[in-house]
Every structure is written in structure tokens, then in C-alpha cells.
């Protein structure tokens, strides 16, 4: 599925603001660690930064600093961490981040860890516009129906006295940014809004940031005041228009649901454009790293958790749950199958209904079609696992592995008590409990000898019927 890709530019640095308290989330988990597409919002934004900014990358943390810092280091060990305490606004946060930038002399983009949907191409356009127009500051803007609480972008007016407009991608001369609480009635009527995403020259910002004041309705240091400072120095400022969904932020659980919906819609569209058939797109759930090949068919109500790679020509039937798995080309999964982390299916594998696979390798052409659990196992090519088979991998203290060779036939309702190995071409009789290794080509059966008592069932039914009739008469 296609994603925007750009080579990182060493002359671009990134500052990611991740210090907010997120009180409206009503959560013990820091807001920026809440997931979109099964990936923390912070990681979405850090991935965007790492894909574009080859210069320093800085994450500003505050609320939940320990957890956020740990998540940031896990995703991008090269990123520097700066603690904002106390939190006195976006300008104050960027002032602290600039200390970590050292003498960096390129451009700096400021991103927000709770705004995870910005396409890389949109950010590249912002960077290109700033350089092309020689602007000291470039801001990403969007149009939002009134009334709303976003800051307003006040741009140059045309001859008729109207604000300059334009379609997505339009570059507009920017005069100033006014926070919503500081707007005059005329400014409040402007629909062109500030996303908060800003790009500026490092040298200009290094000199301008100490000039910010907190003389405003919130008593905070606004990063947006850099626009007026840039214009005062003759550097100019521009705004780039983008779609509102690109810069949709998360402040509440309701916002999180909206952003998740936008993310899923985009991934579904990308899958369809990439040659995947989604039989019911609205019921298919993708993770941020889901990788589907060409000619994959996905049935309704399929969940792709993190770490899923599906080869060409695979069919995933309805109501399947996949997470941390690889599915080889031409395989069939489901319906109602669960593939857990570590499942690795070779080419042409069949995994059927109500089958669970965990931390197991299935060789090419293997079949596990019904009501079966295969965990901590290696299953050889062309092996057939009968219905109701279980690999008993846990002894109450440790996990053990089951080794099954190629061309093995395992009969239905078999328990394979690990550690155990079945040799190539072995045959396991139905209903067996296997606790010892089975040599190649051997038959192994463990069940009580069958006994048949002629006429027993007829006599049993007659006796029980007589007892029932006697009860009714009594």
C-alpha cells in the first residue's frame, strides 16, 4: 500500500511538541501515547519527522514525561529529549528546544504529537514554499466552518478587500496569526485557520524567540508571534493551505475516534489503489504498518494488528484477527481464524475456521483447517493437521516446542505434548495423545482398544423406556 516517501534533508530539523497534559482525554495514559492505527500518535509524528528531517530531531516532553520519553527513545534513539517545565505555551516549548539545536543553521519545522495525520508530501510542500518565497516563517493552514476555537491566519487582501484564498496547496502571503481568544469580531469571521504546524529559518528564530512576550489572553508565550517578528525584519511569512483532515488534532476521546476513522479511510483507499480487494472496506481494520501484496482478497470484519505482512494472492476470509504474522503468497486464512505474533505461514498454506496459530512456522502447502491450536511449533511442508489438534506447549512453568516434519498426517482430536517431534511422513491416529517422538514413516496411535457389545444399545433403550413409563403411571 503506497505511502508518501521523501529523502531526509540534512538542512531541515524537527521539533515535536509532546508536553501537553491532555486532561480532556480523562486517561492515565499520556495523550500522545494513545494509538491511531495501533501505533501511538507520537510515533506517527516522529516517523513523519524522521522521513523528512535529516537534521536534529527534538521531542519536547512534559506531562507523563517518563513514559513519553521512553516511547520516543524506543522509536527514534537519535531524537533529543527536552523537558518543558513549567508549560508556558508553544513559544516557551520551542525556546527550550532551541538549546538542544545548538548551532544548527537550516530550517526548523514544529510539529505536534497529537496531530498524526499530516502526509509527508504536505510537509514537503511547506518546506519548498518557505525556500521558494524566501520566507522567514511558513505556516500550514486549513479552512474550518465557523465558529471554532482555532487561531486565525490573516493573509493579504485582494483588490476587492477580501482575504486571498485559493485551493489546497495555495501559497498565501501571511500578515499575522491571531489566537481565537484574542480575535476582534472581524478577525473571528475568518475561516482560514492555524494548524500550529510552522516552519522557520533557524537563525531568525534563534534571535526572535527571546523577544516573545506573554501579553495575551492566556498569559502564554505564543509561537505564532514569530510571524509579526519576521515581517518586522522584512523576511516575510507565507501560509500553505491543506485539507482540514490532514491537521486534525486529538484533545478528547471523541477526537481520537474521528482521527482513527480518517486514518482507516485513508488506509482502505490505499489498499484498494494498491491492488487489494476489500469485500467490505468499512469493516476492515488496518494498523499503521499493515503490508498487503497484490491481488490479496480480504473478507468482511478482518482485523490487521501491528506487524502483519501478507503476500500476493492471499485470501483472508471473514472474521479473522491477524497480529505480528507473515502470510506467504497464495495462502488462505479463515474464516474465524486467529493468527498471533510469531505465526509464519509459507506459500500456499491453508488455515481454516476456528484455528489459532501462535509463534509457529508452517511450511509451504501445510493445512490446518479446523478447530485447532498450533503454538510454539514447526510444521513441515505439505503436512496435514486434523481437526481438534492441540500442541500442548505449556507445562505450567515453561513453553516447549513441537517439531513436525514434512508430509506428516495428524489425525483429528490429537494432543501433541511438547517437547515432541514427528518425523517425515509419520501418521498419527485420530484421538491420540503423543508424548514421545515418532520416527519418520511410522504410525503412532494411543487409544483404548475398541469394544463392541452386541445388542447392548437395544436392551439399554428398552430398560430406560420401561423406567420412564413406570414413572408416568406412578
Question: Is there a contact between 144 and 193 (Cβ–Cβ < 8 Å)?
Answer: yes
Sheet strands (E) in 393-447: 402-404, 409-410, 415-417, 420-422, 427-428, 433-434, 443-444
Return the residue matching grid coordinates 503412532: 444
Q: Exposed, middle or buried, 199 (CB in 10 Å: 0-12/13-18/19+)?
A: buried
Helix (H, G, I), strand (E, B) or coil at 364: coil
Q: Which DSSP string corresponds to 164-231?
A: P--STT-EEEEEEEE-GGG--HHHHT--EEEEEEEEEEHHHHHHHGGG----STT----GGGHHHHHH
Q: Which DSSP string corresponds to 107-121?
A: EEEEEETT-TT--HH
Q: Which DSSP string corresponds to 37-98?
A: TTEEHHHHHHHHHHHHB-S-EEEEEBTBHHHHHHHHHHH-TT-EEEE--S---HHHHHHHHH
Nearest-angstrom CA–CA distance, 226 and 136: 9
Task: Calculate the CA 42 to chain-centre distance.
Answer: 11
Nearest-angstrom CA–CA distance, 110 and 60: 11
Nearest in space to 51 (alpha carbons), one of 108, 2, 16, 8: 8
What 8-state DSSP symbol labels residue 300?
Answer: S
Nearest in space to 156 (alpha carbons), one of 75, 216, 227, 248: 227
Choice among 133, 321, 370, 400 that is catalytic: 370
What do you get for the CA distance between the two ends of the chain, in Å? 75
Please confirm, yes or no, whether 370 is among the known catalytic residues: yes
Catalytic residue numbers?
Answer: 370
Amino acid at each position: 500500500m503506497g505511502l508518501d516517501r521523501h529523502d531526509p534533508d540534512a538542512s531541515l530539523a524537527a521539533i515535536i511538541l509532546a508536553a501537553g497534559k491532555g486532561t480532556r482525554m480523562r486517561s492515565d495514559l499520556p495523550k500522545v501515547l494513545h494509538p491511531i492505527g495501533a501505533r501511538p500518535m507520537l510515533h506517527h509524528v516522529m516517523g513523519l519527522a524522521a522521513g523528512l528531517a535529516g537534521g536534529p530531531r527534538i521531542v519536547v516532553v512534559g506531562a507523563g514525561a517518563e513514559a513519553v520519553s521512553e516511547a520516543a527513545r524506543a522509536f527514534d534513539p537519535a531524537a533529543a529529549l527536552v523537558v518543558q517545565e513549567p508549560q508556558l505555551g508553544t513559544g516557551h516549548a520551542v525556546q527550550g528546544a532551541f538549546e538542544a539545536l545548538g548551532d544548527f543553521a537550516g530550517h526548523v519545522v514544529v510539529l505536534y504529537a497529537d496531530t498524526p495525520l499530516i502526509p509527508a508530501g504536505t510537509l514537503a510542500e511547506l518546506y519548498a514554499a518557505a525556500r521558494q518565497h524566501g520566507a522567514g516563517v511558513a505556516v500550514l493552514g486549513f479552512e474550518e466552518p465557523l465558529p471554532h476555537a482555532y487561531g486565525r491566519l490573516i493573509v493579504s487582501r485582494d483588490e476587492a478587500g477580501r482575504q486571498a484564498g485559493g485551493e489546497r496547496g495555495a501559497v498565501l502571503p501571511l500578515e499575522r496569526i491571531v489566537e481565537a481568544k484574542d480575535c476582534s469580531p472581524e478577525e473571528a469571521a475568518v475561516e482560514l485557520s492555524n494548524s500550529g504546524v510552522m516552519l522557520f529559518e533557524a537563525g531568525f528564530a534563534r534571535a526572535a524567540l527571546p523577544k516573545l512576550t506573554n501579553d495575551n489572553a492566556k498569559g502564554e508565550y505564543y509561537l505564532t508571534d514569530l510571524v509579526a517578528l519576521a515581517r518586522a525584519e522584512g523576511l516575510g511569512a507565507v501560509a500553505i493551505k491543506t485539507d482540514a483532515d490532514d491537521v486534525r488534532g486529538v484533545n478528547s476521546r471523541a477526537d481520537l475516534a474521528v482521527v482513527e476513522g480518517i486514518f482507516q479511510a485513508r488506509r482502505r483507499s490505499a489498499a484498494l489503489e494498491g491492488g487489494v480487494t476489500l469485500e467490505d472496506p468499512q469493516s476492515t481494520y488496518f494498523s499503521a504498518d499493515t503490508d498487503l501484496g497484490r491481488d490479496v482478497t480480504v473478507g468482511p470484519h478482518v482485523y490487521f494488528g501491528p506487524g502483519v505482512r501478507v503476500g500476493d494472492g492471499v485470501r483472508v476470509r471473514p472474521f479473522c484477527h491477524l497480529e505480528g504474522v507473515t502470510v506467504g503468497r497464495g495462502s488462505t486464512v479463515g474464516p474465524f481464524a486467529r493468527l498471533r505474533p510469531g505465526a509464519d505461514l509459507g506459500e500456499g498454506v491453508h488455515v481454516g475456521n476456528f484455528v489459532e496459530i501462535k509463534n509457529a512456522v508452517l511450511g509451504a502447502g501445510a493445512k490446518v483447517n479446523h478447530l485447532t491450536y498450533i503454538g510454539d511449533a514447526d510444521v513441515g511442508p505439505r503436512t496435514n493437521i486434523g481437526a481438534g489438534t492441540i500442541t500442548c506447549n505449556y507445562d505450567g512453568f515453561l513453553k516447549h516446542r513441537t517439531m513436525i516434519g514434512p508430509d506428516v498426517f495428524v489425525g483429528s482430536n490429537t494432543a501433541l505434548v511438547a517437547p515432541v517431534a514427528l518425523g517425515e511422513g509419520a501418521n498419527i491416529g485420530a484421538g491420540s495423545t503423543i508424548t514421545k517422538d515418532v520416527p519418520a514413516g511410522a504410525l503412532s496411535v494411543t487409544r483404548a482398544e475398541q469394544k463392541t457389545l452386541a445388542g447392548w444399545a437395544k436392551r439399554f433403550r428398552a430398560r430406560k423406556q420401561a423406567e420412564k413409563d413406570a414413572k408416568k403411571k406412578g
